[in-house]
Amino acid sequence: MTPPIVTFLSDFGAGSGYPAQMKGAVLQRLPSAQLVDLSHEVPRYDMLAGALLLEACVPRFPREAVHCAVVDPGVGTARRALCVVDGEGRRLVGPDNGLFTPFLGEEARAFALEDPRHVPAPESATFHGRDLFAPVAAFLAGGGDPEWLGPRVASPVRLPWPVAVREGARVRGECLLVDPFGNLVTSIRATDLGGRAVREARVEGRAARFVRTFGDGAEGELLVLLGSGGRVEVAVRQGSAAERFGLERGAPVVLALDGAPC
């Protein structure tokens, strides 16, 4: 029998003891659990970065996995604690602050963590990851029903979610996230290209070359490519595009497409 899977994402830092305490809270309740770190290096308090990492990672796991995500500058305040079940049945547990925006499609359901029969009272006002979210993740991974956690939430918080704009044969987007290599993930998805080849690319006004993979670029050349997560990325071969060209979140990206489908 496959062991239950619980994943963790946070901005706590891999070198801190906080991720280990969350794992301990799960293992106390569900010793058979298989624990997986998605990342604990989300930039501090950056819900958009956390949401994009969840978007990239969560669909790669079995649907029965439970995902415990904590980027929570409002910990201990009146912000809600939440379990989200997306349209594919994936379950995510964490703060109701927009972190789960990619999974809040029309068929998603959300439940407040309120029922004391299944939701523990936090020991600390400052560590709901350990005292609240991890125990609830263990409960779900062990077979608990999300509907037992509390009332349905009709309007979970959603982040402003940048999307690409199609203007004839041009697609306009923006940089959203700098990854550990200095590549910039953008708001342009593979589907925004409509199966058409990219003829020209510009990033913050600079000419860039659209390539298939990093190694197709010359040293120091500004590149644009379709990344493994299904979004267009800005990169430099064996270097940091963010550092070399001073690019940050919000930098505009424009792609000119061929006039006919590929």
Q: Are residues 250 and 221 in the same domain?
A: yes
* Phi and psi, residue 176, nearest 5°: -115, -30
Q: Is residue 154 part of a domain?
A: no
Residue 77 counted as domain residue:
yes
Q: In this structure, are 130 and 200 located in the same domain?
A: no
Question: Whole-angstrom Cα distance, residue 52 to residue 236?
Answer: 21
Residue 130: which of 167, 169, 93 has the closest Cα?
93
What is the value of pTM for the model shown?
0.94
Instruction: State the sign of the Cα–Cα–Cα–Cα dihedral 132, 11, 13, 66.
Output: positive
Angle at 207 between CA 202 and CA 210, to 5 degrees: 70
Q: What is the pLDDT of residue 258?
A: 87
Which of these three, 113, 148, 183, is where a domain ends?
A: 148
Mean pLDDT by 10 residues, the chain (262 residues): 93 96 98 98 97 97 98 95 98 98 97 97 97 98 98 97 94 96 97 94 97 94 96 96 97 88 42
Task: Tell me: do 60 and 169 sit in the same domain.
Answer: no
The pLDDT tens digits of the residues spanning 171-213 come to 999 999 999 999 999 999 999 999 999 999 999 999 999 999 9
Could you tell me if residue 158 is inside a domain?
no
Q: Which of 107, 123, 148 is the last residue of a domain?
A: 148
Q: Judge if 231 and 186 occupy the same domain.
A: yes
Structural domain range at position 247: 165-257
- Considering the domain architecture, whether residues 143 and 169 belong to the same structural domain is answered as no
Other CB atoms within a 10 A radius of the CB of residue 116 amount to 8
- On whether residue 156 sits in a domain, the answer given is no
139 and 57 both lie in a single domain: yes
Does 14 share its domain with 132?
yes
Domain's final residue, options 106, 122, 148: 148
CB 122 within 8 A of CB 136: no
Domains of the chain: total: 2
Q: Indicate whether 121 and 174 sit together in one domain.
A: no
Whether 157 maps to a domain, the answer reads: no
CATH number at residue 55: 3.40.50.10790
Statement to judge: residues 194 and 124 lie in one domain: no
Q: Are residues 13 and 132 in the same domain?
A: yes
Q: Are residues 138 and 223 in the same domain?
A: no
The answer for residues whose C-beta is within 8 angstroms of residue 178's C-beta and 6 or more apart is: 184, 185, 242, 247, 248, 249
The answer to whether the beta carbons of residues 262 and 174 sit under 8 Å apart is: no
One-letter amino acid at 23 equals: K
Reading the block at residue 45, the tokens are: 């308090």
